[in-house]
């Protein structure tokens, strides 16, 4: 397995880099087919003052699904500990869901909504990032699983049944909705 550890706006100490490698390899034992994991450290604020915060983001692909977690703390080690714990939990949840799905679990069992969506946004929206990705055909259940593993409120996918682009999203009532073109 290839583990890429890099930093943005900061330097990573060798002992923290070793710790990150150990924690990611420990968590990745859950899936045998993982080929690469990306661990990114970022620092915000002034590093010479006490308000500097470290953010750790771990991204990988497991069983054809993208797993992404992030954590923020005042110390790089604390942020890494929290992120690696979240990462291992996400991998375990993905493995359990795949096992449930193979046993013909119902659609609602695959997609519980943990937290209600918070729509309190007080500022004007500005496009700050543009993403490009390829759409691959998948079922609604696969799209729901992928959306949950990414931690997003919506997911764009190519519906395997209809062959059309669709958007899966979390509704305020806790259920999921699908937007399909006519």
pLDDT tens-digit readout, 82-101 = 999 999 999 998 888 888 77
Let me know: does 120 contact 59? Beta carbons within 8 Å: no
Predicted pLDDT of residue 59: 93
Task: Answer for the pair 152, 146: CB distance below 8 angstroms, yes or no.
Answer: no
Highest mean pLDDT among 50-59, 128-137, 170-179: 170-179
Residue of higher predicted confidence among 46 and 37? 37
Enumerate the H helices of 8-151 as residue ranges: 14-27, 76-102, 107-110, 140-150
- Is residue 39 pLDDT above 90, yes or no? yes
| Residue 47's pLDDT band (cuts 50, 70, 90) | low
* C-alpha separations of 56 from 60, 79, 104 in Å: 13, 6, 36
Residue 80 has pLDDT above 60, yes or no: yes
Q: Which of 19, 14, 17 is nearest to 4 (CA)?
A: 17
Whole-number Å distance between alpha carbons of 165 and 160: 9
Domains of the chain: 2-102 (3.30.160.100), 108-116+131-179 (3.30.505.50)
Q: What is the pLDDT at residue 63?
A: 82
Q: Is the pTM of this model over 0.75?
A: no
The number of angstroms, rounded, from the C-alpha of 114 to the middle of its chain's C-alpha atoms is 15
Please give the structure tokens belonging to residue 171. 């509704």
| Confidence (pLDDT) at 126 | 78
Tell which residue, 71, 23, 72, 24, has the closest CA to residue 52.
Answer: 72
Given this model, what pLDDT does residue 29 score?
87
- The residue assigned the tokens 């669709």 is 166
Q: Across all residues in the chain, what is the average pLDDT?
A: 82
Question: What pLDDT, on the 0 to 100 scale, is given for residue 182?
Answer: 81
pLDDT digits (tens, 9 = 90+) for 122-171: 556 777 888 887 788 999 888 888 888 888 888 999 999 888 999 999 88
Using CA atoms, how far apart are residues 158 and 166, in angstroms rounded to an integer? 6
The residue-averaged pLDDT of 106-118 equals 49
Predicted confidence (pLDDT) at residue 62 exceeds the cutoff of 90? no
Residues 6 or more apart whose CB falls under 8 angstroms from that of 105 comprise 97
Dihedral angle, C-alpha 157, 160, 164, 168, nearest 10 °: -40
Mean local confidence (pLDDT), 102-114: 53
What is d(CA 142, CA 140) in angstroms, rounded to the nearest whole number? 5
Can you give the pLDDT at residue 115? Answer: 47
């Amino acid at each position: 397995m290839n583990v890429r550890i890099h930093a943005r706006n900061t330097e990573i100490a060798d002992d923290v880099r070793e710790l990150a490698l150990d924690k990611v390899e420990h968590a990745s034992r859950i899936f045998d087919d993982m080929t690469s994991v990306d661990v990114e450290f970022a620092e915000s604020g002034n590093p010479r003052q006490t308000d500097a915060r470290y953010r750790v983001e771990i991204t990988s692909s497991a069983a054809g699904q993208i797993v992404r977690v992030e954590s923020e703390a005042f110390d790089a080690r604390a942020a890494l500990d929290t992120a690696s714990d979240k990462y291992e939990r996400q991998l375990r949840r993905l493995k359990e869901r795949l096992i449930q799905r193979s046993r013909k679990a119902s659609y609602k069992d695959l997609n519980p909504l943990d937290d209600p969506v918070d729509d309190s946004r007080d500022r004007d929206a500005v496009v700050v990032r543009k993403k490009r990705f390829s759409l691959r055909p998948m079922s609604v259940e696969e799209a729901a699983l992928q959306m949950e593993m990414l931690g997003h409120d919506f997911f764009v996918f190519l519906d395997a049944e209809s062959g059309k682009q669709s958007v899966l999203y979390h509704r305020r009532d806790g259920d999921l909705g699908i937007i399909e073109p006519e």
